[in-house]
Amino acid sequence: MEIVGLPAFRDNYIWLLQSGRFVAAVDPGDEQPVLEYLACSGLELAAILLTHHHPDHTGGVAGLLAQHGVPVFGPAGEVIPQTTVPLHDGDTVELPEIRLSLRVIDVPGHTRGHIAYYGANALFCGDTLFGCGCGRLFEGSAEQMWASLCRLAALPAQTKAYCAHEYTQSNIRFALAVEPENTELKTRAERVAALRDQDRPTVPLTLSEELATNPFLRCREPAVVAAAERRQGGRLSGASEVFAVLREWKNNF
């Protein structure tokens, strides 16, 4: 299987999973780049996978369905009218055309019903985990998002995470404010700056690198706890409180 990223809008990625002559599209917020890719490559759309209901992830579904009658996999906990296969935590998505099966992981926080897909060493995490960051809490609580991130963090360290936005460089500026002494983070900042200078993507992410540099996965690290407590001006009890302070801090950064 090959995974191709199509840029969309200002900073979205639509991920295409392809094998043989078939393609599955993850979070097609816009149908146009996908239709163009299919036309140029001569490949055939086999399925659409959705992580959550936001328009920059679902806006292209109707336009794709108008030309391709394919199943639409999506979270059972969200209202997305075009969904034909509603998914729950632990479900398996079988995509025989691209010889892939993916496991569904509930990751509420950014939205209430947000799901992620995991399989073949790849994680499609939508707006839950970003490079050196995480999604905003639009519908869920800090406790929920922290628990969701912990579930993703528990996947094998070599997992490649295909998030839906190119936010890594601006997230790193915040991460450096939290952990200015993190040497892996400083190295990553240089590498990411070099990639972005050439307009190259920083995604997919590697989970091991996120564990070492993403402050939102590091809410148990003494340096991160200390930074959050300085920001809060008092003691914090527990990782999800640290997470809540970081998330609020980032919102105002």
Residues near Zn ion (CB under 5 A): 54, 127
Catalytic annotation present for 56? yes
| Measured distance CA(221)–CA(211) in Å, rounded | 10
Catalytic annotation present for 88? no
CB closer to Fe ion out of 46 and 49: 49
Catalytic annotation present for 57? yes
221 binds Fe ion (CB under 5 A): no
Show contacts with Fe ion in window 28-87 (CB under 5 A). 56
- Among 36, 40, 39, 37, smallest CA distance to 17 is for 37
- CB of 74 vs Zn ion, minimal distance in Å: 13
CB closer to Fe ion out of 22 and 124: 124
Residue tagged active-site, from 30, 68, 106, 110: 110
- CB of 54 vs Fe ion, minimal distance in Å: 5
Tell me the residue type at 60. G
CB closer to Fe ion out of 100 and 116: 116
- CB of 225 vs Fe ion, minimal distance in Å: 29
CB closer to Fe ion out of 56 and 221: 56
Catalytic annotation present for 165? yes
CB closer to Fe ion out of 60 and 100: 60
Residue tagged active-site, from 27, 30, 53, 56: 56
Catalytic annotation present for 114? no
Show contacts with Fe ion in window 118-147 (CB under 5 A). 127
166 binds Fe ion (CB under 5 A): no
> CB under 8 Å to 232, separation ≥6 — which residues?
245
- CB of 101 vs Zn ion, minimal distance in Å: 25
Catalytic positions: 52, 54, 56-57, 110, 127, 165
- Residues interacting with Fe ion, by CB under 5 A? 56, 127
